[in-house]
Copies of this chain bind each other. A is one copy, B any other.
Amino acid sequence: MDLIESLKIKNNTKLLLIVLDGLGGLPVDNGRTELELAHTPNLDKLAKVSALGMHIPVDYGITPGSGPGHLGIFGYDPIKYQIGRGILEALGLGLEVKDTDIAVRGNYATVEESNGRIIVKDRRAGRISTEENIRLTQKLSSAIKSIGDVQVILSPGMEHRFAMILRFPEPLPEGSDDLPDTDPQKEGLEPILPQGEGVAKVVREFLSKAREVLKDEPRANYVLLRGFSKKPKIESFEERFGLRACAIAVYPMYRGLASLVGMEVYKAESLKDQINLLKDLWEEYDYFFFHIKKTDSYGEDGNWKGKVQVIEEFDSLLPEFLSLKPHVLVITGDHSTPSVLRGHSWHPVPVLLHSPYVLGGTSQRFTERECLKGELGIFPAKKLINLMLAHALRLSKFGA
C-alpha cells in the first residue's frame, strides 16, 4: 500500500478528468502551436483562475503509447504496470478481457505448402480490405468456437489485423503469456509454432484448425499471431483511491484502458452524446474520465488545422462541463501529438487544474508556453491523481 492509498478519505466531491488525446503540440504556423492558434475564450478565462503546469507522461524523452499515457494520468506508474500488446489490441477492438484470458494480435497472411512445410509468402495477405477481413473473421469464428474447454473470441480490425482472446477456465496455466510470436517477421520462413503444453498446445490446435478453415482462400489462407499477453494485475481505482470511477469515451481502446483499472465504462457516439451521458451519470460516481479522441487523430495526420478545430469545438462546449460544478476539474492530454511529428511524442503535456484551492493568476491562456508559467510546474503524470485528491480534500494529513 503506498502513501496515497493509506491517506485516502471519502467525501462527496466530484472529480472530472477531461483528456484531449495527444493534446500537446509544437509550433506549426508562425511559431505558434495548435493550442496557441485556437480561439479559446472559455479556456482562456478558466486558465487565468486555475493551477497550470505540464505533466511528463512516463519519463523525460519517452514517447508513450496510449496505454502508458493513460495509466500515468490515472495515477498508476506506467513503467511498473505494463499492458501487453495483445491486451491493448483486444481492448482497442472492443473486446472485454478477463483474468483468465490470453489476448493476442493476429494478421491474416498468405502461405504456401511445400513438402508438408508451411512457408510465409506475404505476412499481410496483400493488405486485404477491412470488409474482406470481417468476412474472414466471421468464417473463422463460426468454425472455431473453442479448443477443448478454451473459448475462442475473435474481432476483426483494419485491413489484415484482428484480435483474438483465448478464454481459459480458471485458473490460467502458469507462464502462459510467455509465448513467442508465431510470425517469423520475414517472408520465406516457416511460422514459429509454440512448444509445450498449456496455452502453447491450444495455440497449435487453433493454428491447425485455422489453416483448415482458410485453406482455399486465395490470399488470406493462414494467420500469424503476435504479442501473447494476459490482463495485467492492477489494483482497482476504487481500492487505491477510494473513488467510484467511470469512463465516458467514444473509442473502445480508452474504455478498455479504463476498465483495466476497474472503472465502469460508458460508450457514446459523439462528443455531445458524451456530455449528455456525463450529466446523466453525475450523481452516480465520484470520478469521471472523459476522453476526446480527435485531437490525437488530426495530430497523427499532420492536420494541424483539424486539431485546432477540435480544440475550438471543445472550448465552445466547456461551459457545459463547468455547469456541473465539479469540485476538481482537470483538462489535459495523455501525451503530446504534435502535428509536425505526425505521431505521439515525448513532450510534456499541458495541464489545467481548477478547484477552490489554487493560486491562479500565473497565466493568460491554456497553452504550452503559458502552462510553463503555472504553479504546478513540470511534474510526473502519475502524480496527477495526488493533486486531484488533495484539491478534493480527499487526503488526510501525513504525520502529526
Q: Interface residues, chain A, CB within 8 Å of chain B?
A: 3-4, 7, 26-27, 31, 33, 54, 58-68, 78-79, 82-83, 85, 88-89, 338, 340-341, 343-348, 356-362, 368-369, 372-375, 377-379, 383, 385-391, 395-400
Whether the pair A59, B400 counts as a contact (CB closer than 8 A) is no
Given contacts A3-B62, A27-B360, A346-B390, whether A83 and B383 have CB atoms under 8 Å apart is: no
- A60 is contacted by which of B65, B348, B386 (Cβ under 8 Å)? B386
- For the complex, what is the distance from the CA of A384 to the CA of B64, rounded to whole Å? 18
- For the complex, what is the distance from the CA of A338 to the CA of B357, rounded to whole Å? 9
Whether the pair A61, B4 counts as a contact (CB closer than 8 A) is yes
A198 to chain B minimum Cβ distance, whole angstroms, is 25
Query: Which residues of chain B come closer than 8 Å to A358, judged between CB atoms?
Result: 26
Beyond A31-B361, A62-B398, A63-B390, 19 extra complex contacts between A and B, CB < 8 Å? A59-B386, A60-B379, A61-B386, A61-B387, A61-B389, A61-B390, A63-B398, A64-B398, A64-B399, A65-B397, A65-B400, A66-B400, A68-B398, A78-B399, A89-B400, A340-B357, A346-B386, A372-B373, A372-B375
- For the complex, what is the distance from the CA of A180 to the CA of B141, rounded to whole Å? 60
Whether the pair A399, B368 counts as a contact (CB closer than 8 A) is no
Whether the pair A383, B3 counts as a contact (CB closer than 8 A) is no
Most chain-B CB neighbours within 10 Å: which of A68, A379, A396, A398? A398
Whether the pair A67, B390 counts as a contact (CB closer than 8 A) is no
Most chain-B CB neighbours within 10 Å: which of A61, A66, A79, A358? A61
Nearest opposing residue in chain B for A83, CB measure: B399
Whether the pair B372, A62 counts as a contact (CB closer than 8 A) is no
A375 to chain B minimum Cβ distance, whole angstroms, is 6
Whether the pair A62, B390 counts as a contact (CB closer than 8 A) is yes
Nearest opposing residue in chain B for A4, CB measure: B61
- A368 is contacted by which of B347, B348, B359, B369 (Cβ under 8 Å)? B359
9 interchain residue pairs of minimum CB distance: A61-B386, A61-B390, A65-B399, A377-B378, A60-B383, A68-B399, A60-B386, A346-B390, A65-B400
